[in-house]
């Protein structure tokens, strides 16, 4: 959570935002989302919900570190 993600969606769309939540269907809530397909911002700096079945691929923009348990 609270990591920057880059999502590739169907229709050759790409969205980058901060992960705020997800569910069992991989529906994703992003904050400060930007549509990289055309450079426009999505919404007005609010949260965006992306339906899981439209996600083709996702990658972490921030470095992911392992934590000792």
Structural domains in the chain, CATH included, are: 4-60 (2.30.30.100)
pTM exceeding the 0.85 threshold for the entire prediction: no
pLDDT digits (tens, 9 = 90+) for 17-67: 999 999 999 999 999 988 887 756 555 556 899 999 999 999 999 887 887
C-alpha angle 7-10-12 in degrees, rounded to nearest 5: 80
């Amino acid at each position: 959570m609270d990591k920057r993600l880059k999502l590739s969606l169907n229709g050759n769309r790409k969205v980058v935002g901060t992960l705020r939540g997800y569910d069992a269907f991989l529906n994703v809530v992003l904050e400060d989302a930007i549509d990289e397909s055309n450079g426009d911002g999505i919404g007005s700096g609010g949260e965006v919900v992306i339906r899981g079945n439209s996600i083709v691929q996702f990658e972490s923009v921030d470095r992911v570190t392992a934590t000792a348990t």
